[in-house]
Structure 1
Amino acid sequence: MSTINELHRLETADIEIGVSEALKRHATRHVAQHKPVSGRVLAFERRRPRWLRECVGEATGVFLYVFPGLASVAGFLIHASTQEPPVTVYSSFFQIGLAFAMGIMFAIVIAGPTSGGHFNPAVTISLAVWQGFPWKKVPHYILSQTFGSFMAGLLVMGMYRQQILEFEAAAMTAGVPLVSGSGPASIFASFPLENQSLGYLFMIEFFVDSFIGLVIWSCIDPANPFVSPTTVPIVIGVGYGAMVWGFADITISTNMARDLGCRIVAAIFYGREAFSYKSYCWISLLVNIPATLFATGFYELFLRDSVQLINKGGVAHQEGDDGLRRYLSEVGMLKDGEQMETTMHVSNTTAIGKGLAR
């Protein structure tokens, strides 16, 4: 009898609503409940300069991605000659790539909403060239990114100082230059190995940076159905890590700000040779920019689908709804008499969706 009553109760609307609301309250609980926002807080945030928030966001993001990566490189190089315990206990190229990849994920999640998450001068310049990012902000972003890298390098130097001093002594005893591909300065910046030509290093750097640029540009394309905002940090981080795993043993830089900020740290402790060693510096600092412009230009010219982007609500036609209607009519995607709905997120059942389906 009780079973029949329970089944009868479950069929009633009030029980279902009550259960659903209880589940909803449980699902929307937060780990930390925020207190009400005061007028004082709102006034402070209103007075806070937007450009300052963005610069702090860029510096913080670069710091968050460079700091764990450098720490992993330091652990690897400092114990590279140690046989007991083996070096794999401390680090490996896989672990270095994973540290940079996870650092990028954290950087995008923490600082990306504030500044847009560029974290790379080449990305900032590419956004200015292709997406209308204000050119007047570009120098501020690049300086902030470089400062974040500099602070990460300085902090790693301080935290690993005792071990680095021992590494320096061992390197001098073995006749290894402090500024070299295997010396202590290479913890902070890229240096070529012996018998590596500049042309070879240029080619490696160019294609590695182009690969990363393509990954980034595809991730920030709202029309890409395979990447959602929540997966962007993971995809970009893994893309970066894949290049570290594949080519870090050859010598790559991948980011002007990451290299310049940490190279300044190396120059402070190891002298001007940090910039002059084998004339490699210009490759590590500058190749990233044309390579990323090449990759993003390739995407814009051959892979971008602007109609699909408009359909997703990611951008509007330059001439408004009338311009879009004329274009769709000219190419036969919008038939005479059909109505076009242009909201921020156009449904596939609208005329644009019908045109795309054809």
Structure 2
Amino acid sequence: MAGSNNQPNDLVRQHTHDIELGVSDVLQRHVTRHVVPTKPVSQRKLNFEHKRPRIMREMMAEATGVFFYVFPGIASVASFTLATTNPVAGVIGVTVFGSLFQIGWAFALGIAFAIVTCAPVSGGHFNPAITICFAIWEGFPWRKVPHYIFSQIFGAFLAGLMLMACYWPQIQAAKAIDIKEHGTAVYNGGVASILCVFPNPDQTNQGYLFFQEFFVDSYIGIIIWACLDRANPFVSAQSVPFTIGLAYATMVWGFAGNTISTNLARDLGTRIVAAIFFGGEAFTASSSYSWISILVNIPATIFATGYYEFLMRDSLQKIQQGHAEHKDGEEGLHRHISKVTGVDVANPAWETNRGAMNTADGVREKQF
């Protein structure tokens, strides 16, 4: 009888390809799952962590984050560029080793990994321009700005050194070929361009290069600032790393062939490495183009974040969602709403309806 009672269930399982669930049922009755408990935190560990200077942790996180962002990106550039000096390239084709599409993804995922790994400690700036903008718009302490910028440049510098160590034989071979055929390794497409960017031979107008860098950096800056807007309903904390990474990737896919930098730390840190191994020409080549790749990112990002702050930010919504408060507290918020709506917010009825944000919706309508 027991077999006949179980038969319909077994037939259903067989029909739905779930017959293996019978084995699972047996295992659940006879096998106990053992989970290793989390190791208790000792007082010694707590004391050690408490004694670490906060600024040191933040600087290490910024340096590590920039390393995580820059290293996979320039490694992808290296695999693409050095394929021309690899004997295998002539057999299986250069495109197997990389493309701008691959390079864009390498930078994008590097940025995402950097944010996921290091942002909980330092805030995840990873760009001197972003650090400066946080100081301008969000109250980030100016006294910390030099520490962050130094750490970011240092992280990119370490990424450049690590790349040179990993690809040293191939880089030396490529350098010899470049010097033999072009007289220098410092040009766009040369081995030095693995570390930092140089304009194409036909890009002699620095005004054009400035405009291109400014636009690309502004585009990325607006997306970053929108992602960091806590009142933005379309971006979750989990999606921020990948959204920002894809913003960089889209600009790489669209403009890397025309020369872009996008980050002072990423360019300056690796350009110093290029100067060490390939000479000062890394800074002076192409009519000293390096000043554009190093510095333009700062005014462009300030412009982008200012554009968002002045034209797109909804601070009232930010206050309503509990992500900020009025500088003068509740009294200041009451004065503002009374001024723009004509509603007496001191009236208890307003407090009753406040949770539904009816009055606040009216504020936004009258503001815009």
Q: For the superposition of Structure 1 and Structure 2, which TM-score range results when normalised by the shorter chain?
A: 0.7 to 0.9
Deviation, structure 1 residue 338? 3.8
Matches within 5 A, 1:29-48: 34-48=38-52
Q: Indicate the residue corresponding to 2:308 in structure 1.
A: 299
Tell me, in whole angstroms, the C-alpha distance in 2 between the residues paired with 1:352 and 1:135: 38
Q: Are residue 121 (structure 1) and residue 121 (structure 2) matched?
A: no
Q: Are residue 107 (structure 1) and residue 111 (structure 2) matched?
A: no
AA aligned to 2:58 is E
Deviation, structure 1 residue 32? 7.8
For 1:98, which of 92, 102, 105 is the aligned residue?
105
3-state SS in 1 of match to 2:258: coil
AA aligned to 2:128 is P
CA deviations over 1:234-274 (Å, ceiling 9, x no partner): 10000010000000011011000000110010000011111
Matches within 5 A, 1:1-358: 34-80=38-84, 82-175=89-182, 177-196=184-203, 197-278=205-286, 279-332=288-341, 334-336=343-345, 337-338=347-348, 350-351=354-355, 353-358=357-362
3-state SS in 1 of match to 2:229: coil
Deviation, structure 1 residue 340? 6.2
CA deviations over 1:257-301 (Å, ceiling 9, x no partner): 000110010000011111111210110110000000000000000
Q: 1:327 to 1:264 in 2, by over 3 A?
A: same
Q: 1:177 to 1:33 in 2, by over 3 A?
A: farther
Q: 1:357 to 1:144 in 2, by over 3 A?
A: same
AA aligned to 1:297 is G
**Structure with a larger share of its residues in helix:** 2
Tell me, in whole angstroms, the C-alpha distance in 2 between the residues paired with 1:90 and 1:77: 9
Question: Aligned-pair RMSD on alpha carbons?
Answer: 2.1
Contact 1:339 1:351 in 2 (8 A): no
CA deviations over 1:26-75 (Å, ceiling 9, x no partner): xxx9x985311111111111111000000000000000000100100001
3-state SS in 1 of match to 2:62: helix
AA aligned to 1:164 is I
Contact 2:61 2:118 in 1 (8 A): yes
Contact 2:62 2:155 in 1 (8 A): yes
Contact 1:334 1:351 in 2 (8 A): no
Tell me, in whole angstroms, the C-alpha distance in 2 between the residues paired with 1:72 and 1:32: 39
Contact 2:68 2:110 in 1 (8 A): yes
Q: 1:185 to 1:223 in 2, by over 3 A?
A: same
Tell me, in whole angstroms, the C-alpha distance in 2 between the residues paired with 1:263 and 1:129: 28
**Matched length:** 325
Deviation, structure 1 residue 83? 3.7
Identity of aligned residues (%): 55
Contact 1:176 1:182 in 2 (8 A): no
TM-score by length of 2: 0.84
Structure showing greater radius of gyration is 2
Higher mean alpha-carbon deviation, 91-100 vs 309-318, is at 309-318
* Structure 1 unaligned regions, length at least 5: 4-28, 342-347
